[in-house]
A and B are shown apart, each in its own frame.
Chain A
Amino acid sequence: MKKLLAWFDHRSGLIEAGRQYLDRPVPGGPSWLRVWPSTILFTFLVQAVTGFVLWSYYSPSDQSAWESVYYIQHEVAGGWLLRAMHHWSAQVALVLIGIYALQMILTGAYRAPREMVFGSVVLLGGCALGLLLTGDLLAWDQNSYASTHVRVSFLKLLPWIGDDLFKIAIGGPGPGFGHLTLPRFLALHVGLFTAAFAGLFLLHGLFRHRADQLETATPERSTSYWPSQAMRNNLAAFAVFAVIMLLSLQNGVNPEHAGVELGSPADLDPANKYAAARPEWAFLGLYEFAHLFPGSLSLLPIFVIPGLLFALVLAMPWIARTKPGHYFNVVLILSLLAGLALLSVHSIRKDLANEEHQLAIVREADQARRVRLLALGADGIPGDGALSLLRNDPKTQGPKLFAQHCASCHAHVDAEGRGIAAEDPSAPNLYGFADRAWLVGLLDPERIATAEYFGNTAFRGGAMVDHVQDALADLFEDEKEEVESLAIALSAEAELPAQREADARDTARIAEGKTFMVNPYGCTGCHKFHDKGRLGGAPDLTGYGSREWTIGIINDPAHPRFYGDDNDRMPAYAESDDPAENLLSARDIGLLADWLRGAWYEPE
């Protein structure tokens, strides 16, 4: 064995080199102030190891990126922890580099002959920021897309080259991101910035070694690296590990919220862009700083001033050649950090007080939960991506479509007033449309002429209102029960998912209710109902509130099957056979009908 090791060392020189490395003199003796490079190396190794596995799962396409991250987060054993450690070690790395550079400035350790040592640390910080910025987009959720899009769009501020730089960065003509954006960001993240980080770290070590050599003219106080400095370094690395683990486990281990949050998938449709996008914490101060300038001067706070400050920091070792210069550096860096911290706090407080902002965050969280639920459903995530789950989900799209196309006249509010209010209420409240309670209310002489039903419509003084107010007023208890049976029978026509069990249970009452519609309550005098009554007087009650019926009345309420010539102001949303002429597509009308009927996926 010894022979083998001797041979290996002879051929490779590695063992001897390692021994020399461990025995190298540490000028001034072991110190806790010298642990920072080791901790930075530790965070880099954590990122490299976790990053390699994340990379092995990642699919950099706008139709599968979020889905692959979702898979890592929720399906791969330990995947959420892997992702969390990767995320937090990147944040911690940036902080450690900041502490290291700050310490060099405060202790004067950036002065000659250590200019290059300091410069390499500052550039290392730049690389860490680059890793953070490019890595952020890869999750491809609403926040990462929207906030990265803002950042990259700022490239356009640069005169002459800005627009071209933007196109090169996103790999297409824009203005939205496309297929080639994620591959480019991934290549920058795992290729360019990772290699640059490793290279700079290596250079930093060489510069440090050289500076140590230059400085140790009197090496009497130096000790060897092993064991006392190595022990300090390893303990510091362990402390960093503990911090990363605490941060990674801060949301517990329940797979529902464990690790780093993954929002809902990025939607390239500008109409659905996330409205609460904010930069990563490291940029929050700069974000708020930019607010101090009018838009025509955005170039200053976003490129010119940060660029000049960066150059100034790189030049600090030379400024520090005189004592006042060193004090200038110390004051500058401390006030810079304090200013950024204050601006960040101000920004956070402003957002906390901004109701619209908070509402957008809540909506996005709802959407993220919803897409997770749909992805867990029996059908899983389809090939064209998880976004189509949301686009085809009545629960997600219904309220948007209703607010856009129906809420100028119809409300959709529950008994407590929650929901979508009508801008100018002139048609029935459609909350619970065609369910038992809704129909019982419609047949209530006290309620039919209120704003809830026909109060604001042309039917206010019509035959239906008259009939209900005459024939259904002052009923005996048993008659009231008959009207309720009638409502239950009519509601059963809708086959609402929420009433499936009740409808199956009440078959006898439904059969009875159907006969009441003919006699004694005379619905079929005006309405058609299966083989009783005729079309032409009032809407057909056959299949009332069913998916097919609801789609039909939205398509064309003035069709003889519905209100015919008596139709009030409701527009026909799809009366033409040519889709281009219709107000709404068949798909949107289907989504609206499903949402009104409460027909959407819910887990068992």
Chain B
Amino acid sequence: MDIHHDHPMTETPTTTEPRRGFFASLAALALAAFGLAVPALTAVAAYVNPLRRKSAAGRFIRVASLTALPSDGTPRKFPVIADRVDAWNRYPNEPIGAIFLCRTESDAVEAYHVVCPHAGCSIVFQQSDDGGKFVCPCHVASFDLQGKRLDKTSPSPRDMDTLEVEIRGKAEVWVRFENYITGITDKIAEA
């Protein structure tokens, strides 16, 4: 038994409203849709705003001194220290990345990005009697001392990313530091 039927408010109205025109309904709908679309589009535009933030372009940063590099070519990991900008903050002199430096000759140095080209984990150097190798702990990609993939079916789509090195002054190692897009076969700098 539905109690609502006893109430006068729910009685069927005796007069019917005039039928609204089709276009009038459509116009009302369009106005409402427009009213909703403006805030929705503004919201989407604001949400994807990070697309407009660019990565810092590659520039030369002083990383180490030659004397800190073993002469036998054993890789050493060094932090890359520079000002880090994060949304509304600027942090002076923070680690913004890390690289491996290997001395190839008395005054020649190779630099490799620690970031694995596969999924962005940090590669570690595993020393052993035969010189050692680079290994990424996440998906076990391994690389030789020249940063070349050791495994034909390596999870990494490309060899370790090398960076441009300059020796300045007496024995300062400067590296042009930038990040590269992970997961793809080509080495492309982050934009």
Contact = CB atoms under 8 A, between A and B. Distances in A.
Given A179-B86, A290-B155, A295-B154, A168 B121 contact: no
Contact of B47 (A156, A168, A276, A356): A168
A580 B62 contact: yes
B137 A356 contact: yes
Contact of B70 (A16, A164, A423): A423
Interface in A1-30: 9-10, 13, 16
B73 interface: no
A360 interface: yes
Interface in B146-183: 152-158, 179, 181-183
Contact of A356 (B114, B119, B126): B126
A346 B97 CA distance: 33
A276 to B, nearest CB: 7
Give chain B's interface secondary structure class: loop
Contacts of B53: 167, 172-173
Interface in B110-145: 114-115, 117-122, 124, 126, 135, 137-141
Given A168-B47, A171-B50, A175-B179, A295 B156 contact: yes
Contact of B50 (A154, A173, A293): A173
Given A153-B183, A172-B86, A295-B155, A167 B67 contact: no
A294 interface: yes
Contacts of A367: none
B119 A153 contact: yes
B76 interface: yes
A457 interface: no
Q: How large is the interface on A (under 10, 10 to 19, 20 to 34, 35 or more residues)?
A: 35 or more
B107 interface: no
A290 B118 CA distance: 12
A298 B157 contact: yes
Nearest to B81: A585
A294 B98 CA distance: 26
B83 interface: no
A583 B171 CA distance: 11
B106 interface: no
Contacts of A271: 77, 79, 95, 98, 114, 122
B22 interface: no
A212 interface: no
Contact of B89 (A10, A162, A179, A270): A179
B98 A269 contact: yes
A530 interface: no
Nearest to A162: B183
Q: How large is the interface on B (under 10, 10 to 19, 20 to 34, 35 or more residues)?
A: 35 or more
B114 A156 contact: no
Given A153-B183, A275-B124, A583-B68, A178 B157 contact: no
Contacts of B157: 294-296, 298
Contact of A180 (B77, B87, B95): B87
A512 interface: no
Nearest to B95: A269
Given A156-B181, A277-B121, A298-B118, A173 B55 contact: yes
Contacts of A172: 50, 53, 86-87
B174 to A, nearest CB: 12
B28 interface: no
A170 interface: yes
A9 to B, nearest CB: 8
B98 A270 contact: yes
A167 B157 CA distance: 21
A160 to B, nearest CB: 12
Contacts of A154: 119, 183
Interface in B58-82: 62, 64-65, 67-68, 70, 74, 76-77, 79
A156 B183 contact: yes
Interface string A156-187: 11000011100110111111001110000000
B113 to A, nearest CB: 9
A16 B4 CA distance: 12
B87 to A, nearest CB: 4
Contacts of B3: 9-10, 16
15 contacts: A150-B119, A153-B182, A171-B50, A173-B54, A174-B179, A180-B87, A269-B79, A270-B95, A273-B121, A290-B155, A294-B157, A295-B157, A298-B183, A356-B137, A404-B77
Given A153-B182, A298-B183, 7 more contacts: A149-B120, A175-B115, A179-B87, A270-B114, A275-B124, A291-B140, A404-B77
